[in-house]
Structure 1
Amino acid sequence: MSTVALITVVRNGGCQVRRVLLMPRLLQDSKYVTAVRHSSTTQRRTSCFDPDGSGRPTTWDSFGIWDNRIDEPILLPPSIKYGKPIPKVSLANVGCATQIGKRKVNEDRFNYAELTDSVLYFAVYDGHGGAAAADFCDKYMKKYIEEFLPQEENLEIVLTKAFLEIDKAFARHAHLSVDATLLNAGTTATVALLRDGIELVVASVGDSRALLCRKGKAVKLTIDHTPERKDEKERIKKCGGFIAWNSLGQPHVNGRLAMTRSIGDLDMKSSGVIAQPETKRIQLHHAGDSFLVLTTDGINFTVNSQEICDLINHAEAALVVTEQAIQYGTEDNSTSVIVPFGAWGKYKNAEVNFSFSRSFASSGRWA
């Protein structure tokens, strides 16, 4: 839909957009939906979804709202700005779940919130060496992001500054604390900001992940920070650190840490472990984008990205993903946060089957 057409929608009754998208479920099997406005006379007026008078009906694909499963109004200002209808992403539709697995405590944390009228926040944190660093990020990350938002238009810069500042703040907190274990505490951090319902920016350190389901296929938005990456390994060595492999063949920084970037892990900073996140910006296409999902490694090392896409198709999806990880043999904490977009429920999901061999192989990952 062109910008001119969107302006026509606003002038001729933008409220009509919301009314059509909130139609009863009895319309969900209809192939086409049109809106007609009538004057006080019997004369028919042009549909606000057919501004050019061509007579061609509007399909659900035109709006990105598929099968009437997400009943949300259209955000008119950003729709006009970007020249396409953009549905409001509601926090009420966000799904989240966390499972302790076979650990004694759950060190995973997750959060989501509305920071401003136009910016939404979603995050997962996977703590190690205790939950102190994950708790600190869960409590204060929003504060630092909100501090930088008015100063900087670029959301990638906002997130980078927030990550670096919260790492410094945790260091101050740990050094002032009487609890010496805080010096060894750290956490992954995967944070997503969504502006105007269309601009998605993700920042990450560690091995928690973000992926987008686009036209039924998994699109990875993060890359794990592990010693297996050549660029990460080189930085560790340049800073005086070393890589050691455990009995399972897994590389660790200085024989202790399975990741090369994190928040906290103060005893590892001199060995090249940094809090500088890698960021990614993507523009959503609600006609084809089904959802964003953030996951911790209890899921990532047992359920692959495409399987996550295939599993997620209903309101209890976050719980299904964490339970599938447990079925596949994870012993770690498992957490997922799922944010549905316009094409939620549009693409058919493949069946995911239990694999005994994978369950057996993965069970040694956290031994």
Structure 2
Amino acid sequence: MSTATLINLVRNGGYQVRRRAVLTSRLLQDEKRPTAACYSSTSERRASRFDPDGSGRPTTWDTFGIWDNRIDEPILLPPSIKYGKPIPKVSLANVGCASHIGKRKENEDRFDYAQLTEDILYFAVYDGHGGAAAADFCDKYMEKYIKEFLAEEENLENVLNKAFLEINKAYERHAHLSADATLMNSGTTATVALLRDGIELVVASVGDSRALLCRKGKAMKLTIDHTPERKEEKDRIRKCGGFVAWNSLGQPHVNGRLAMTRSIGDLDLKNSGVIAQPETKRVQVKKGLLNRDSNIRTKGHHRYLMQVALPT
């Protein structure tokens, strides 16, 4: 090695040593310097995924990757893998119910909720009229019929369609075998929701009970009331030989008696076009990292409310 090369190497090496010493000194001064409450300089440090607090310190697992958006809820692992996003588990402990009898002498409303299978939750509200017999019957047996059809059918809309029609037939058999003639005039609305994997929500309804989904603070209708005011409903009633009459308050009723065109029960009006065939709606609950949908509300005649709080 020549003398010139050796001198150059020493000079460069000395420069690198001095540079490291200066940088170390500056870092120590930055650590000791108090942090200002507000920055006005355009040269302030900016946070990034690899430098989350702009401190210049290396990132850790507490601030890296998915931990930036961790969810403080139990996670359903199979659905999370299936849908490609974290799916929080919906607990039945978060279901709340309230009922107000209004001016009636007895409360004919019924509700039910259950874990039908490992991945399907069941929620239902029945608003009875003409006695509580039909609402009680649905409250007791609807879950059973849904389970039976779940064993042979994957499509939840088809499951609910079949369950509604079958339970109406079962109630008709029960009423004909009973010595209580009032069972023929008893009926109920039915609003039933099935939640699969914590993300697939299917709602079926007959009557004028309502299901609402609260999305980003706004109510989203999941059902439409079955009343004689709807043209297609009124046309079916008239086609089947029934008629629509308006009371003194201007409210339409089937054959002057029933304010809805679909129900379970009301057997004396089935030949007049009142059917038990539900309308269904399927939506996807957006939870995971976005977590937009906070609850499902089911309401009957403005007197009954069931709220299911989804994880936030």
TM interval, shorter chain, is: 0.7 to 0.9
* Cα distance in 1 for residues equivalent to 2:182 and 2:64: 61
In the alignment, is residue 340 of structure 1 matched against residue 309 of structure 2?
A: yes
In the alignment, is residue 241 of structure 1 matched against residue 242 of structure 2?
A: yes
Q: How does 1:175-324 map to 2 (within 5 A)?
A: 175-286=176-287, 287-297=291-301, 299=302
Q: Tell whether the 8 Å contact from 1:96 to 1:337 is kept in structure 2 after alignment.
A: yes
- The one-letter amino acid of 1:50's match is G
* Cα distance in 2 for residues equivalent to 1:162 and 1:49: 48
Q: Tell whether the 8 Å contact from 1:72 to 1:90 is kept in structure 2 after alignment.
A: no
* Cα distance in 2 for residues equivalent to 1:58 and 1:169: 53
* Cα distance in 1 for residues equivalent to 2:60 and 2:211: 46
* Cα distance in 2 for residues equivalent to 1:274 and 1:44: 63
* Cα distance in 2 for residues equivalent to 1:114 and 1:225: 28
* Cα distance in 2 for residues equivalent to 1:91 and 1:72: 14
Q: CA deviation at 1:233?
A: 0.4
Aligned to 1:50: 65
Q: CA deviation at 1:84?
A: 1.1
Q: Tell whether the 8 Å contact from 2:73 to 2:311 is kept in structure 1 after alignment.
A: no
Deviation digits for residues 304-326 of structure 1, max 9, x if unmatched? xxxxxxxxxxxxxxxxxxxxxxx
Q: CA deviation at 1:335?
A: 1.5
Aligned to 2:43: none
Aligned to 2:153: 152
In the alignment, is residue 168 of structure 1 matched against residue 166 of structure 2?
A: no
- The one-letter amino acid of 1:214's match is R
* Cα distance in 1 for residues equivalent to 2:74 and 2:64: 15
* Cα distance in 2 for residues equivalent to 1:208 and 1:187: 10
Q: Tell whether the 8 Å contact from 2:97 to 2:305 is kept in structure 1 after alignment.
A: yes
Q: CA deviation at 1:102?
A: 2.1
* Cα distance in 2 for residues equivalent to 1:336 and 1:166: 23
Q: CA deviation at 1:44?
A: 8.0
Aligned to 2:35: none
Deviation digits for residues 219-274 of structure 1, max 9, x if unmatched? 00000000000010001011011000000000000000000000000000000000
Q: CA deviation at 1:72?
A: 2.8
- The one-letter amino acid of 1:340's match is A
* Cα distance in 1 for residues equivalent to 2:188 and 2:95: 23
* Cα distance in 2 for residues equivalent to 1:190 and 1:267: 22
Q: Tell whether the 8 Å contact from 1:111 to 1:124 is kept in structure 2 after alignment.
A: yes
- The one-letter amino acid of 1:263's match is I
* Cα distance in 2 for residues equivalent to 1:250 and 1:150: 42
- The one-letter amino acid of 2:232's match is D
* Cα distance in 1 for residues equivalent to 2:285 and 2:254: 36
Aligned to 1:24: none
* Cα distance in 2 for residues equivalent to 1:49 and 1:126: 51
Q: Tell whether the 8 Å contact from 1:72 to 1:89 is kept in structure 2 after alignment.
A: no
* Cα distance in 2 for residues equivalent to 1:48 and 1:236: 63
In the alignment, is residue 72 of structure 1 matched against residue 65 of structure 2?
A: no
* Cα distance in 2 for residues equivalent to 1:246 and 1:240: 20
Change (3 A) 1:49 1:197: farther
Give the length in aligned residue pairs: 254
Q: Which runs of 4+ in 1 moved over 4 A?
A: 43-49
Q: Tell whether the 8 Å contact from 2:94 to 2:310 is kept in structure 1 after alignment.
A: no
Of the two, which has the highest radius of gyration?
Answer: 2
Q: How does 1:1-150 map to 2 (within 5 A)?
A: 46=61, 50=65, 58-59=68-69, 72-150=73-151
Percent identical among aligned pairs is 75
Q: Tell whether the 8 Å contact from 1:288 to 1:342 is kept in structure 2 after alignment.
A: no
Deviation digits for residues 263-307 of structure 1, max 9, x if unmatched? 00000000000000000000100211010011111x1xxxxxxxx
TM-score normalised per structure 1 = 0.67
Change (3 A) 1:217 1:271: same
* Cα distance in 2 for residues equivalent to 1:105 and 1:49: 58
Deviation digits for residues 185-225 of structure 1, max 9, x if unmatched? 00000000000000000000000010100001110000000
Q: Tell whether the 8 Å contact from 2:97 to 2:307 is kept in structure 1 after alignment.
A: yes
Q: Tell whether the 8 Å contact from 1:111 to 1:123 is kept in structure 2 after alignment.
A: yes
TM-score normalised per structure 2 = 0.78
- The one-letter amino acid of 2:270's match is K
* Cα distance in 2 for residues equivalent to 1:58 and 1:45: 11
- The one-letter amino acid of 1:104's match is K
Q: Tell whether the 8 Å contact from 2:214 to 2:294 is kept in structure 1 after alignment.
A: yes
